[in-house]
Amino acid sequence: MIRQLRLASTLAIIAATAGLAAPASAQVAGVPLEMEPNTCDRACLENFVERYLQAMSDGTVSDDLFARSVRFTENGVELPLGNEGLWATTVSPEGYRLVVPDVTTGQVTALVTVQEQANSSATGPQRPAEHVGLSLRLRIDREGKITEVEQIAARPDRPLGAATGPSTDPFPATGAAVHAIGSPWPGYLQAVPEAERHTRAELVEVANAYFEAVERNTGNDYYPFTEDCLRLENGMIAAASDAERAALPDRPAFGTVQTCKGQFETSLIGTVTSVRDRRVLAVDEERGIVFASAFFDHRPINWSWHLGELFKVEGGMITRIEAIFIRNTYGMCSGWSTYAQCRSEEVQDVR
């Protein structure tokens, strides 16, 4: 509670001073903010996403695109790049694209869909191609090569063997639901007027305020949402403004769609026992977007949500949230943090 009060006070100052320049010496999690901009600009980083997805679909690991020392994880597990995970099963890179580049760190993140063709069992026939939701992070070095690949793959629930019955999951398949969005909300692509932009440190603080609100929520904490906030989870609207939610059907297993703030005040109380391995993967100051990864632990039911999630910030408040996540092993780590960082509830600004 003390930490939440301290954070709420900080964010109140951010909201009140939106548009004012912050000291150049400001820090996030002890990391100085001054960094020489990477040589790969916005368009360059966005193009790396397309090049990577095409390479994965083709099954081609080339020296033109990848560093010899490239490291690859999928769903928190380190794998060889080129023939494991989605690299073994992707048949088309076409799909949804929501890309967040970080021109300062040379990283680019994205929520996308690709098409995967999997077998019905270890030796069974192939299934038709299906969409898979993907949270993606790439790091590009100064030689223009991909050195790190981190992805969370949300595959559909598939029966084994010859079973053809419907899925028992009450929610639609993530890939299909995200793909059905069609194109990202136009507001993601709009630049914030220069005088109203937040610093990197401020944007990280706002994103972390969301994680603080989720973790051990009491219903009376600080909730940094605008009145028209909308949250998409795995392609489904999980929260919306009063005007929008009136026309929405009930959510499977959850009932009536609530507002972002109202849901935290009434429905998500005590649900998440810890939010850890909090990693800010990209910050787009020009557009006011933060892309982060974390684990939401549910101790009573012994599993963790592993997610990639982005936040659109305006005036110190979150106006839009979009996430792709999977159910992972309880206590799982990202594969990119130390053990201490994985267990920590402090935010890291990944450089």
The structure tokens listed for 189 are 């692509």
Domain co-membership, 224 together with 340: yes
Q: Pick 77 or 38 by higher pLDDT.
A: 77
Amino acid at 194: E
Whether residue 286 lies inside any domain: the answer is: yes
Domain co-membership, 153 together with 211: no
Domain co-membership, 160 together with 269: no
Whether residue 175 lies inside any domain: the answer is: yes
Query: For 163-188, how does the pLDDT look when each residue is reduced to its tens digit (9 = 90+)?
Result: 556 666 677 899 999 999 999 999 99
Query: For 27-48, how does the pLDDT look when each residue is reduced to its tens digit (9 = 90+)?
Result: 344 344 455 556 899 999 999 9
pLDDT of residue 146: 98
**Count of domains forming the chain:** 2
Whether residue 35 lies inside any domain: the answer is: no
Domain co-membership, 266 together with 313: yes
Domain co-membership, 184 together with 203: no
pLDDT of residue 161: 65
Look over the chain and give the mean of its residue pLDDT values, rounded to a whole number: 88
Domain co-membership, 180 together with 46: yes
What does the alpha-carbon distance between residue 50 and residue 180 come to, in Å, rounded to a whole number?
A: 19
Cα(first)–Cα(last) distance of the chain, in Å?
Answer: 29
pLDDT of residue 288: 98
Domain boundary among 188, 218, 246: 188
Domain co-membership, 168 together with 263: no
For residue 210, what are the contacts with CB-CB under 8 A and spacing of at least 6?
224, 311, 318, 321
pLDDT of residue 180: 96
Whether residue 28 lies inside any domain: the answer is: no
Q: How far is CA 119 from CA 75, 126, 153, 326, 343, in A?
A: 20, 4, 17, 20, 36
Is residue 7 over pLDDT 60? no
The CATH number that applies at residue 82 is 3.10.450.50
pLDDT of residue 165: 60
What does the alpha-carbon distance between residue 213 and residue 263 come to, in Å, rounded to a whole number?
A: 11
Whether residue 283 lies inside any domain: the answer is: yes
Contact 22, 202 (CB under 8 A): yes
Give the pLDDT mean for 219-228.
Answer: 95
pTM of the model: 0.88
Domain co-membership, 278 together with 329: yes
318: number of Cβ within 10 Å = 23
pLDDT of residue 249: 77
Domain co-membership, 158 together with 216: no
pLDDT of residue 124: 72
pLDDT band at 24 (very low <50, low <70, confident <90, very high): very low
> Which residue is associated with the tokens 């690991």?
61
For residue 242, what are the contacts with CB-CB under 8 A and spacing of at least 6?
227, 259
pLDDT band at 127 (very low <50, low <70, confident <90, very high): confident
Whether residue 165 lies inside any domain: the answer is: yes
Whether residue 243 lies inside any domain: the answer is: yes
15: number of Cβ within 10 Å = 16
| Domain coverage including residue 207 | 2-16+191-349
Domain co-membership, 175 together with 202: no
Give the pLDDT mean for 290-300.
Answer: 97
Domain boundary among 139, 171, 188: 188
Q: How far is CA 18 from CA 129, 173, 296, in A?
A: 47, 39, 30
Domain co-membership, 200 together with 92: no
Domain co-membership, 213 together with 77: no
